[in-house]
Structure 1
Amino acid sequence: MSSRDMYGNDIFGGHSRKQKRAVPQVTAERDLVVEDAATGFCGAVVGFDRSYDGEFVKLEDGRGAVRLFALREAAFLIDGRPVTLIRPTAVAPKKETRSASGSTRVDGLRARVARTSRIWVEGVHDAALVERVWGHDLRVEGVVVEHLEGLDNLGERLVEFDPGSGRKVGVLVDHLVTGSKETQLTTGLGPYVLVTGHPYIDVWQAVRPATVGIEAWPQVPRGEDWKTGICRRLGWGTPQEGWRRVYNAVESFRDLEPPLIGAVERLIDFVTEPE
């Protein structure tokens, strides 16, 4: 090799001054402020978009203007230095290990064959709230909840059902207080029937006021339909509209008052305990 070509074709080929500098990758987290290198538009990351042209980031400037920019290599500046923005990696949501009632969730649950024993509640709203909070537990245990369409039907239903060994009935009652009509209708029903309840006029009232965004449940004079009176005083429209507010606000046992929680837990224990 001659002295002329002893360095090959390019004496600077491997020199550090000729090597391309690596541009750092930065995760485009929301509210990260960057500058588009080509246009000088500066804004905070507010979202992403995708089209046949590729991936885009949405930037919003201080005046509220939002523009799309392609996620290309070295297309942005942070503190005047080129960076390559990349989309954040989606984080898998944390697996919920507790049911709405606070019990341990059973994964891959197949509802067991329904027990003969039953839990009865007064109306459809009671049944819906019990299912919303304790539905997972009830399916694990194979317990069916049925509504009586009024406590006045309890005696007739018990005669038809004929409670006995392995055929127990737990009854959830609204306004179960000393001296009330509800208490008189639910005494002396035998060892295979357990009646529990809460002191509230209606199961709506067993939902914590803060859960539905109020300081307290309004007082409704005796003789006035309670649900209608509540909705009129709170501006909730019809009782049907009011019920949707109540039902949609409840997510777990934490949204309910302790007397209702304790009553339902006792009923589940009663109808599932071994003879």
Structure 2
Amino acid sequence: MSDRYGDIFSGHPHTAKRTVSQVVAEPELVVEDAASGFCGAVVGFDRSYDGDFVKLADARGAVRLFALREAAFLIDGKPVTLVRPAKSAPGKPARSASGSTRVEGVRAKVAAPSRIWVEGVHDAALVERVWGHDLRVEGVVVEHLEGLDNLAARLAEFGPGPGRRVGVLVDHLVTGSKETHLTAGLGEFVLVTGHPFVDVWQAVKPAAVGIPEWPRVPRDEDWKTGVCTRLGWDTPQDGWRRVYSAVNSFRDLEAPLLGAVERLIDFVTEPGEQF
């Protein structure tokens, strides 16, 4: 006769501990976030003070970040725990976020005399995010001006010359703009490059941030505040967290910013010009 109560020593089915498989989050692996139902392919990762995150892109190009927690995702309806892929195998050249070959085990160089200057903290953070490895290899320091209006005074104090060059990255560098007038005729040892966007946030591809496009904000309105209002972001601080977290490599940035920064790095590291 069958036991109608089952095996009382086997544990209640609702209290028994689940075994959840670990799956390596390889690029293009399609998973579903169990909590929100968002389904997308793995396109990158991020790490912050509160842990590791995976970046998923859905079929429409929307990108969102999700914490790498246990049993947080579904594959074919089954819960899984995603883990980051192992580092590149020995012998395969790893790439930095800028796409250059990563130099392993390099010691930080003494800062070279030449400098790259950017307008603000956000510009500096994005340059470090993508080109930080390259700049450390070359010993190039990136400093922010706290506004382009300070450029003339900073140049007078710095004294550019042979072996002491300055590259300047400028937002909204378009014909007839205030920025163009402030950066004209600075001499052969100063190179100014820039991008056409009102703010460096716009140099991050909308798809990377998970939006269809950057909103249009009237000139008489603070741009960052206007963007956050139109996108439903709480504050500019919240907006910056979203923008910064969206950038994992050069692929997340628009071409004008990429070209501008690469030209500055070439300029300040030209052979024979650093020392």
Partner of 2:40 in structure 1? none
Larger radius of gyration: 1
How far apart, CA to CA, are the structure 1 residues paired with 2:270 and 2:168?
Answer: 16
* Contact 2:88-2:94 within 8 A present in 1 as well: no
TM norm structure 2:
0.68
**Structure 2 residue aligned with 1:46:** 20
- Post-superposition Cα deviations, 1:86-140, rounded to whole Å, max 9, x if no partner, equal xxxx984434700000000001021111100000000000000000000000000
- The letter of the residue matching 1:266 is R
Native 8 Å contact 2:118 2:169 kept in 1 = yes
2:253 aligned partner:
256
1:131 aligns with 2:128: yes
Q: Report the CA distance shift for 1:201/1:65 in structure 2 as closer, same or farther (over 3 A).
A: closer
User: After the TM superposition, which parts of structure 1 deviate over 4 Å for at least 4 consecutive aligned residues?
Assistant: none
C-alpha separation between the residues in 2 aligned to 1:47 and 1:247?
Answer: 31
Separation in structure 2 between the aligned mates of residue 219 and residue 179 of structure 1, nearest angstrom: 20
Q: Secondary structure at the match of 2:202?
A: helix
* AA matched with 1:46: V
Structure 1: which 5+ residue stretches go unaligned?
Answer: 1-37, 49-57, 59-63, 67-89
Q: How many residues align?
A: 200
Which whole-Å CA distance do the structure 1 matches of 2:239 and 2:233 have between them? 5
2:112 corresponds to 1:112:
no
Q: 2:68 aligned with 1:94, yes or no? A: no
Structure 1 residue 190 corresponds to structure 2 residue 187 = yes
Instruction: Report the counterpart of residue 234 of structure 1 in structure 2.
Output: 231
CA shift, 1:45, in A, is 5.7
TM-score by length of 1: 0.68
**Structure with higher RCO (Cα < 8 A, 6+ apart):** 2
d(CA) in 2 for partners of 1:45 and 1:247? Answer: 35
Q: How does 1:27-176 map to 2 (within 5 A)?
A: 46-47=20-21, 92-95=86-89, 97-176=94-173
Q: Distance in 2 between matches of 1:167 and 1:94?
A: 37
Output one character per residue of 1:54-85: Cα deviation in whole Å (capped at 9) or x when no partner. xxxx9xxxxx999xxxxxxxxxxxxxxxxxxx
Once residues 132 and 217 of structure 1 are traced to their aligned partners in structure 2, the CA distance between those partners, rounded to angstroms, is 21
Aligned-partner Cα distance in 1 for 2:97–2:120: 21
Give distance in 2, aligned partners of 1:105 and 1:183. Answer: 35
SS in 2 for 1:98: coil
Q: Give the Cα separation in 2 of the matches to 1:99 and 1:152.
A: 33
Structure 2 partner of 1:199: 196
Indicate how the Cα distance of structure 1 residues 165 and 65 shifts in structure 2: closer, same or farther if over 3 A, else same. Answer: closer
CA 1:165–1:228 in structure 2 vs 1: closer, same or farther (change >3 Å)? same
C-alpha separation between the residues in 2 aligned to 1:193 and 1:151? 14
Equivalent in the alignment of 1:223:
220
Q: Which residue of the other structure, out of 253, 264, 269, is the alignment partner of 1:272?
A: 269
The CA RMSD over aligned residues, in Å, is 2.7
